[in-house]
Amino acid sequence: MGQQALTYLVVGATFALYLGIAFWARAGSTGEFYTAGGGVPPVTNGMATAADWMSAASFISMAGLIAFVGYDNSTYLMGWTGGYVLLAMLLAPYLRKFGKFTVPEFIGDRFYSQTARLVGVICLIVISVTYVIGQMTGVGVTFARFLQVSTTTGLFIGSAVVFFYAVLGGMKGITYTQVAQYVVLITAYTIPAIFISLQLTGNPVPPLGLFADTEGGVPLLQRLDQVVTDLGFGAYTAHRDNTFNMALFTMSLMIGTAGLPHVIIRFFTVPKVSDARWSAGWALVFIALLYLTAPAVGAMARLNLIDTVWPGGAGQPAGALVYEQRPDWMRTWEQTGLIRFQDRNNDGRIQYYNDRNPAFADQARQNGWQGNELTVNADILVLANPEIANLPAWVIALVAAGGLAAALSTAAGLLLAISSAISHDLIKSALKPDISERGELLAARISMAAAIVFATYLGLNPPGFAAQTVALAFGLAAATIFPVLMMGIFSKRINSTGAIAGMLAGLLFTTIYIFVYKGWFFIPGTNQFPDTAAYWVFGISPTSVGTIGALLNFGVAFAVSRATQPPPVEIQEMVESIRIPRGAGTAVGH
């Protein structure tokens, strides 16, 4: 069976599995649509949460980010993993004990304000829509590469699959579909990693292979440091980033993760408060299987890429790959535009090196190089890795299914968060409080369908700032949702006025700061955004500013609350009851 037929077969089989599960687990009530009836076991919920969290960014992009930067991009691993620790310890069990359907509902009830709830809805929708653009775009790109269809056709197919199981099943259908998607994506991620680790180091465990010896007895990381520095890049294991920014960025990812609405609502689906904590623990275990493997995947992919382009040794002029002799995988990826070659010195060979390194300029001129000739999008490394390593066709097909599973699972979770906010927090709460349960369920499904159509449109026509603001979703979650939840649980003194002022301050500050540097203004006289350290305020990068937005949120909320009346006594008693540690009993729910 050919590669293309095998890919169709594997991807088609996984889609049939998702649709079958969705039909079996279709929702029959609002409780099942929003929270899967509150009856999901902790292990199952942990697996579904892991799939919900491990989006196209984790499956496709994270290893690529690590591969092309090295040590400094370990912040993604630390931040995203640390966020789950915060979520498990500080938010999940208390929110489950409160027993609501959505994050804005908790905000509205805790701060006894419809306005606070609506501000929460705005924050949730902005965060989720920003995040879902990348997922839908990832679906289209993955389809285009592996199924040999256009990006538009791929996006329509992916949207149709999500439409079926999300609209029909709601949280119940999404939960059990995500369990299947987790199995697919973790299998697709680890099997190629095992093969490649064996090829390079003889060790079948990728995290251990990262520190093992390659051919000739040279440790893998030492060899990688040597080949990248030979090409003018910084040492792979070196720390070059600003430490202050690195700490702020890690914290922004941590509290942003803990504040992502589509992740938080997963903890409303378990039977008991103690189950929420266990769910977070199991999610960490399932996530760790991928996150421990990602650094090895990134390092090995970078080494394989350089060995492909420089078969005679990195940096040796005569060792550069002849372009017409490039492997088939490179030809295929060139068709997507994610790999580009420009023969600057007309020698027919591929010179891949760091032409921005002044210290390497003299050597480059001596070699007759006139600039880097190969541009490789970091997002392709995980998807192309099996092809680069000449792995069997079935492994390549499995990776295609895994990439689609990662993108679809997170897209479904985000779309449910948007749908729930519209149907439950806007329609039921504000516009039509007397709506029947049947009517609300219909509204939820219509909202979900509308959200999918809107997300598909944005995937086809992403706004100009979308590709430039990858940190926006995390920054906004860090600056808006996380602080208000923390204060709502652990402070009896924060009132509705303070909570609203804090959320708005965090939202406006973070959005303006990010867009000033990445989407609104150009440097005078140029066509470039001012996203360089020379223009940052106090050296704080736009990707790190979510931490500052969170501190501003906390500060404004406390200051305004101290200057105004304290919350009613019944609200303070409710906050106290949420924090009582005897949290193993069944939570009060709808």
Q: Is residue 554's pLDDT more than 90? A: yes
Query: pLDDT tens, 175-207?
Result: 888 888 899 889 988 999 999 999 999 999 999
Percent of the chain with pLDDT over 90: 27
Does residue 227 sit within a domain? yes
The least confident of 60-64, 105-109, 218-222, 279-283 is 60-64
Phi and psi, residue 219, nearest 5°: -55, 145
Largest CA distance in the chain: 79
Residues in the chain: 590
Query: How far, in Å, CA of 62 to CA of 400, rounded?
Result: 16
Query: pLDDT tens, 244-258?
Result: 888 999 999 999 988
Range of 29's domain? Answer: 3-300+389-579
pLDDT the model gives residue 392: 85
Query: How far, in Å, CA of 320 to CA of 368, rounded?
Result: 12
Query: How far, in Å, CA of 522 to CA of 516, rounded?
Result: 9
Residue 295: strand, helix, or coil:
helix
pLDDT the model gives residue 589: 44
Of 168, 147, 60, give the one whose Cα is nearest residue 444.
168
Residue 448: give its domain's CATH number.
1.20.1730.10
Q: Which residue has the tokens 């979703």?
A: 473
Q: Which residue has the tokens 């306005």?
A: 115
Of 473, 94, 32, 88, give the one whose Cα is nearest residue 283.
88
Does residue 340 sit within a domain? no
Q: Which two tokens stand for residue 25?
A: 């687990």
Beta bridge partners of 344: none
Residue 532: strand, helix, or coil:
coil
- Beta-carbon contacts of 550 under 8 Å, excluding residues fewer than 6 positions away, are 252, 255, 478, 479, 482, 483, 506
Residue 531 pLDDT class (50, 70, 90 cuts): low
Beta bridge partners of 376: 339
Q: How far is CA 539 from the centre of its chain?
A: 25
- Beta-carbon contacts of 296 under 8 Å, excluding residues fewer than 6 positions away, are 193, 197, 206, 207, 209, 210
Beta bridge partners of 5: none
- Beta-carbon contacts of 563 under 8 Å, excluding residues fewer than 6 positions away, are none
Q: Is residue 462's pLDDT more than 70? A: no
Does residue 428 sit within a domain? yes
- Beta-carbon contacts of 127 under 8 Å, excluding residues fewer than 6 positions away, are 260, 261, 473, 476, 477, 480, 481
Any idea what DSSP says for residue 201? H
Residue 149: strand, helix, or coil:
coil
Question: What distances in angstroms separate CA 48 from CA 57, 176, 180, 492, one per listed residue?
Answer: 17, 7, 8, 33
Of 543, 73, 84, give the one whose Cα is nearest residue 295.
73
Question: What distances in angstroms separate CA 424 from CA 4, 351, 361, one per listed residue?
Answer: 44, 56, 60
Does residue 347 sit within a domain? no
Q: Which two tokens stand for residue 55?
A: 């989006």
Does residue 343 sit within a domain? no
Residue 95 pLDDT class (50, 70, 90 cuts): confident
Does residue 588 sit within a domain? no
Query: pLDDT tens, 115-126?
Result: 999 999 988 888
Query: How far, in Å, CA of 519 to CA of 496, rounded?
Result: 32
Number of domains in the chain: 1
pLDDT the model gives residue 590: 44
Q: Is residue 588's pLDDT more than 60? A: no
Contact 343, 317 (CB under 8 A): no
Does residue 336 sit within a domain? no
Q: How many other C-beta atoms can be found within 10 angstroms of the C-beta atom of residue 338?
A: 18
Query: pLDDT tens, 470-525?
Result: 557 788 899 999 999 999 999 999 999 999 999 999 999 998 888 777 665 555 55
Degrees to nearest 5, angle at CA 49 with 48 and 53: 120
pLDDT the model gives residue 530: 59
Q: Which two tokens stand for residue 448?
A: 């979900």
Does residue 92 sit within a domain? yes
pLDDT the model gives residue 463: 56
Q: Which residue has the tokens 């039921």?
A: 428
pLDDT the model gives residue 293: 92
